Structure 1
């Protein structure tokens, strides 16, 4: 059984990709956890419904479209981090740096709390009146821990994964990763489960590039044959994104167009901005530019290249470069050979001969550095994240160069509209370029469009702290989510790690004292709301069905629950385990309760162990106070103060231990704080040398780290108009397959069923119609084009039965070996029957049959019928004496084996013949015999001329020293037979 359900990206403008595969036995495989530039958490709701039943997860590319929601789900979706996840090593490493860049560059990436999640009932507020409350983004440490949970795999390495704790057994599920091109470590997944052979190919590129290898559809040296494991799958799941591209440029033409545009702009003193991603396609572009600069420093345009610099700008670019330099085996073979040759020569660091030593590409990770570089008068090339220009440094760089008509923006891929309510900046540039490029001269080699004062809408964002009312809404949302997760998954709300966002100070205050001052505003408000939501399900909109078995605890006067046809926790009485708070030393206690009389702090005759004993201006005596929005004069009623307990002796000791006691450390810290805008590393600039240093080494200037936001926040968007005078060009660096690539490949893959996903409606329909028409419809049995959330049945059209062999039959089997690393095979001839039951088993079966007969109402069935049902597995035994002779005359020997042209070529060459591949998967031997795959079957066709059929009149010596006396045709025929096993009837 194979049920495919696209969760995101199918026939949609969103480039995100999420797919669910359901196999026999309830095994569910999630492929990709993609997101799009809108970062709407509502688009992940379909995924959240399946998390508690997922077995494993597979990741294909280290891009936002394929891995963007991984960290979000690990932090905010309960149980997701417990699902075993598998990906190649580059996807794990580069995905980690991508998430660091994303959450460090965009506040909206944390996702805005949906409006229906803030208000428990329908409201009439307009979308603008709803506060844009942000979820807590994952920290850098959390991102590192999430990606450390991913299991790294290598290419062509079959692996049997371990299921999640809430998954059924995988029953021999095997996953294998193959190169997909497009990105470093990009993966085509082959999933084998029983009779189902599934190939999941999303965003692949058949052609090799400068830095990335091509997709591993074809085996090397096989004359265009598809890999055996990828041939004739049960279902081929293929993306359709980018198949509508009409501009078909070879790799060299594409590269020369990019270089010519950059060289012309730099020669005129302009700057070039190339918005791209931060971990995937940017490596291909940067590799091309670095090689171009290195090879042309002594050429006719040497002055142009020497005066311009290349910059890669993202908040984690240094980690990205460090990771890819350690993953040489994942790159193109040419890069590997050149790098190994440079290492063998012992080239010094910075010599430029090593293709992995990017001496001409500078790395910058600060926004201030981007602004200073763009403010300089020198030309440069800026590779900035992201291609959508909605987050990262690309949007800021565009604002800095927008007024100069000498500057150029090079778009490398189409930017789709992912938000229905607004057009992103990248989408606006693409639409303007598409509308204006037809008006340009058709004779120009590169299509460049002048913006000429065209205005675009620019959205800027900044975060603010929540006020009291907004904080109340946010705490209500957290309590509601905790209640929902508890009801749907059966967990205790206080044991859920996703609810840790609730303030620790509120938890400690509510747990330590139950009779706080009732006049304090918002004191324990969140927990009161949580208790009310627990007691009254109507406030969060939970129905009886959503409560499930927890209705026995949550609702009043409910004492019975129907557990028929229920599974898992729904069949057991609910149990709520109260969580005990503890620290590193055990259960949390109050140290002041164990003080001796002489150790107690007594102020004005009051024992300070009692937190409510005395108050001064709304705060307990001896406790620290934090002012919120101001102070109140003594004796006046005003805003209450937030209280904090006085740290105990252990806390004071730890604070003293953390303080530096070395005078040199104190001086170094003071010097670092004082030298903010000075020279490199924070040292103060002297006599104005800072400006010269800035002009020479902008990428290494000191810039203080941005303080990490703490506590709940909201994002505020402001929109303004930006007038453009720059030029806009487009060079296709998307690295995706073209329609012609799949047309020539689909017949060789020959899938039984094709599922088209990950593309808009027009791209999906175009690819589906093309595959239906390939080879008169014989290449693909059936084509599916599902919508988001639509499940289709793509199971294999075969049946399998299990039989039991008797010992007499097993002894007579004649096993034949197919190869050293392949299984053996034998022909079986026998008669199906039922295994004889001894007296004891027959009695038990007869007794069970009688019980079933009593339970069957109105059914007149004999015990013999029930005994027949009890014997589920038939038995295969030897043929009778009267059938043996007839069967032996009817059985014919069968040749079984894997016939591959590459193996035949090697076998023929070992016999002293010449063999070479020709076009169309044809093998030519000695110029007289042609060997090809049969188009109508999996067999081999051999054609020979008269010269190939004739036996030579002279005796020739073979490589192994034996004499050759047979013709070429007979030699090829013998080589083919040597590759097969002759299996006769048993």
Structure 2
């Protein structure tokens, strides 16, 4: 059995994607934990409901639409981070930098506490909604959550980890294949029994400059690879198929470069909003190569990449060249012509310049990130240009994103180009007024503080009831006050970065606040060995990560072995001592007074002019090149988002922009189009086809096209092809056994069965006679002896009435007088899935040489070749005439190879 339920991303303009796959036995698989820029927790309710029953989670792309809610779920949903998660290495690394950029850029990413969760409080605020923010994750927590994800390589079949108290997974395997579109983007293949599922959302068949295409085809030949062919069900996205026609890579790149060249020549600046981790790699590579080749033509314009995690993203990209297109150079992302900007102060300084600039900024929706600051600065000048690189979806809220407004404005001004992938002609804003909303976090005041305290108390009670270990990540009621930062600071310099939550990082606070939080022994986890007295054992079976390692907390030493106080100023570096030796000692003495703490990574010294400057530890800047955000001076003010200590709420401010700049569109989303999918579906030949991840119009249009194409291929009526377009929450039954019936086997039939094991499955051939339950039961009773009848009646006396009501037919043995007539029907046959790599191992173990030649041919002893015909799925053995001299000789390679092939298959005879 296989059912599919879209939780987000079906029949909707929102790009967010969440899908639930359910297999026989209660196995539930969640694919993607996407979100959109509304950051509405109501869109995560379905995930929260299914968390206790999920078997594992799969992630496809490192974009907000596919992974945006991952950290939120880990932090706020009990037991979520205990579920096994699988993704490719680039998705893990780039997803981490994406969400770090997201949470540092906007307070809305934390999401607000739902109004219904505050309605039960005794502190009434009337009908007003205070928009109280949930607790924000720290950078350490984000890194820890992503470290829990299991990395996979392409074409690597993997059996997911089994969780306690979840249904057995059996022989279920998952395999990742390249999806293109993003670095590490994945097409998932899930095999469970007879069910073969291909989950392909947001893929791109074309190869790009830096990113490879989707891996539908093998390296040799034009056939779809065997694992992705003839699936039980194929889940495919419809987003992007509304374009009239696709354009080539060179035409797309040339269109964008020509727009940039024209704008720069007229003295204007160009803004290209994009995501901060996925498609930004392709755009940055294009601009770098363009400036390298034609820099003299644009020597008066500089290129900037503005993202809070730009340096980390590019360092990850340089370390994952094996995931990129073949031929990519080692220094492709070691930029010489692009300056990385990671601080808002540097972005503000850059925007204040008057010379032409090309700005590649996050994000595409212009709701968060530096792209919103850039469009405010550039909107008033008609010489400037904003190039939209993808269609901006509707998030379903009353306040649409600024990017969505620009996209609708471009469509309104250019109706003839609707559906085109490129519009080189740009349109002026003509002074149109645009409302832009910004979010800012402020501290709670008045009755909002006790209101938030009661909400935390209810959450802790809920998590304690569910026996989750995330309760430690919530603040205590006593900590929500003036002493917020003091109660949550860490006392150990060597605390483990992989510990989850603030309390897991702080052993001292755990020891003194256990009763206040009401933490149980299970919530403390393995920390109980050091936090509780007379506890010397902890069950680590089925545990993961730090829960399997004996805890250790390094205490901060205040004195050395001889009892002398350690003075930090005596260990200052030479440059610090030379800069201000006396001020350093005075500052260090003040910071080391009782009750004072200093962060180990920061050293504050007093300069000679009486000011104060902040020194950063060398490890933070040594790995940054000149373009990795390390150009800022140490005394440069950092006016990034104001960090509010303690609980906070979000307030919205609206400003009006006069839109005089020009707007253009060049599709850099790199998604499959209608022509590609119509050509590919007949080659894949799915038995069931499900379309999601698109708006209603393009989904229905693609479904009609698919029905026509598949019906023409099969020579059947169009209504005979199973093509589904589910809405949100609709469950689709796409099982391979939709025409199966249940029968019972008689005891005589069961005694005759001779089961054979084939890759974990039991296989047997049956020749029998189907009879009604009453007739078969009467026949069996006639064969039984009186003693057997009495024993059987005693055993089933309590369920006799239920047995009489059971009308399931029974499959019985064929009577002796019918055996001759059916004997020729049940001939022995071979069952199994022969794989050439497995055959190669068998032959090498038998002392033969077996190596792969060109075209997937296995050559044995240099004289016999074995291939598998992709069309008929038959094994073809070619031994040559000189190997047929003696059929009975064990030394003949041809017959030894055939014998090994038959040994790898199960011979099933009729019973």
Do they fold alike, i.e. is TM over 0.5?
yes
Superposition deviation, residue 292 in structure 1: 1.8
With over 3 angstroms needed to count, the CA separation of the structure-2 counterparts of 1:438 and 1:579, relative to structure 1, is closer
Q: Which residue of 2 aligns with 1:795?
A: 735
Q: Which residue of 2 aligns with 1:309?
A: 302
Q: Which residue of 2 aligns with 1:59?
A: 59
Q: Which residue of 2 aligns with 1:159?
A: 158
| Partner secondary structure for residue 100 of structure 1 | helix
Q: Which residue of 1 aligns with 2:504?
A: none
Structure 1: distance between partners of 2:739 and 2:138: 49
Q: Which residue of 2 aligns with 1:173?
A: 172
CA contact (8 A) 2:94 2:313 kept: yes
With over 3 angstroms needed to count, the CA separation of the structure-2 counterparts of 1:742 and 1:652, relative to structure 1, is same
CA contact (8 A) 2:209 2:325 kept: yes
Structure 2: distance between partners of 1:829 and 1:319: 61
Structure 2: distance between partners of 1:366 and 1:652: 36
2:308 aligned with 1:318, yes or no?
Answer: no
CA contact (8 A) 2:692 2:726 kept: yes
Q: How many residues align?
A: 760
With over 3 angstroms needed to count, the CA separation of the structure-2 counterparts of 1:440 and 1:13, relative to structure 1, is closer
Superposition deviation, residue 49 in structure 1: 0.8
- Which of 645, 663, 668 matches 1:733? 668
Structure 2: distance between partners of 1:774 and 1:893: 39
Superposition deviation, residue 744 in structure 1: 0.8
Superposition deviation, residue 506 in structure 1: 8.2
Q: Which residue of 2 aligns with 1:452?
A: 430
- Which of 386, 391, 397 matches 1:414? 391
Structure 1 unmatched runs, 5+: 297-301, 340-353, 510-574, 589-648, 684-693, 913-922, 924-930, 943-957, 965-976
| Partner secondary structure for residue 405 of structure 2 | helix
Superposition deviation, residue 452 in structure 1: 2.2
| Partner secondary structure for residue 334 of structure 1 | coil
Superposition deviation, residue 496 in structure 1: 2.7
CA contact (8 A) 1:217 1:227 kept: yes
Structure 2: distance between partners of 1:677 and 1:844: 97
The 5 A counterparts of 1:832-843 are none
2:712 aligned with 1:770, yes or no?
Answer: no
CA contact (8 A) 2:231 2:686 kept: yes
With over 3 angstroms needed to count, the CA separation of the structure-2 counterparts of 1:677 and 1:508, relative to structure 1, is closer
2:478 aligned with 1:500, yes or no?
Answer: no
Superposition deviation, residue 195 in structure 1: 1.7
CA contact (8 A) 1:77 1:498 kept: no
Structure 2: distance between partners of 1:580 and 1:159: 32
The 5 A counterparts of 1:381-392 are 381-392=358-369
Superposition deviation, residue 201 in structure 1: 0.9
Q: Which residue of 2 aligns with 1:74?
A: 74
Q: Which residue of 2 aligns with 1:785?
A: 725
CA contact (8 A) 1:371 1:400 kept: no
Q: Which residue of 2 aligns with 1:586?
A: 531
With over 3 angstroms needed to count, the CA separation of the structure-2 counterparts of 1:56 and 1:838, relative to structure 1, is farther
2:201 aligned with 1:254, yes or no?
Answer: no
| Partner secondary structure for residue 134 of structure 1 | coil
CA contact (8 A) 2:180 2:205 kept: yes
Q: Which residue of 1 aligns with 2:492?
A: none
Q: Which residue of 2 aligns with 1:97?
A: 97
CA contact (8 A) 2:62 2:98 kept: yes
- Which of 270, 283, 286 matches 1:285? 283
CA contact (8 A) 2:605 2:612 kept: no
With over 3 angstroms needed to count, the CA separation of the structure-2 counterparts of 1:505 and 1:186, relative to structure 1, is closer
- Which of 230, 233, 239 matches 1:232? 230
Structure with greater Cα Rg = 1
Structure 2: distance between partners of 1:676 and 1:263: 48
Normalised by the length of structure 2, the TM-score is 0.72
- Which of 471, 475, 484 matches 2:453? 475
With over 3 angstroms needed to count, the CA separation of the structure-2 counterparts of 1:258 and 1:712, relative to structure 1, is same
Which has the higher mean CA deviation after the structures are superposed, 303-312 or 578-587? 578-587
Structure 2: distance between partners of 1:110 and 1:904: 54
| C-alpha RMSD over aligned residues | 5.1
Normalised by the length of structure 1, the TM-score is 0.67
Which has the higher mean CA deviation after the structures are superposed, 500-509 or 103-112? 500-509
Structure 2: distance between partners of 1:658 and 1:143: 34
CA deviations on 1:618-652 (whole Å, 9 max, x unpaired) are xxxxxxxxxxxxxxxxxxxxxxxxxxxxxxx9999
Q: Which residue of 2 aligns with 1:852?
A: 799
Structure 1: distance between partners of 2:632 and 2:306: 13
CA deviations on 1:892-950 (whole Å, 9 max, x unpaired) are 7879898999999777999x9xxxxxxxxxx9xxxxxxx995xxxx589x9xxxxxxxx
Superposition deviation, residue 247 in structure 1: 4.7
CA contact (8 A) 1:450 1:728 kept: yes
| Partner secondary structure for residue 21 of structure 2 | strand
- Which of 745, 750, 753 matches 2:685? 750
Which has the higher mean CA deviation after the structures are superposed, 777-786 or 719-728? 777-786
With over 3 angstroms needed to count, the CA separation of the structure-2 counterparts of 1:985 and 1:885, relative to structure 1, is farther
With over 3 angstroms needed to count, the CA separation of the structure-2 counterparts of 1:308 and 1:501, relative to structure 1, is farther
With over 3 angstroms needed to count, the CA separation of the structure-2 counterparts of 1:896 and 1:469, relative to structure 1, is closer
CA deviations on 1:838-883 (whole Å, 9 max, x unpaired) are 9999876443212334xx4xx795xxx99x99xx99899xx99977
Superposition deviation, residue 699 in structure 1: 4.8
With over 3 angstroms needed to count, the CA separation of the structure-2 counterparts of 1:327 and 1:400, relative to structure 1, is same
Structure 2: distance between partners of 1:676 and 1:806: 93
Superposition deviation, residue 222 in structure 1: 2.2
Superposition deviation, residue 672 in structure 1: 7.4
Superposition deviation, residue 358 in structure 1: 2.7
- Which of 710, 713, 717 matches 2:648? 713
Q: Which residue of 2 aligns with 1:109?
A: 109
| Partner secondary structure for residue 45 of structure 2 | helix
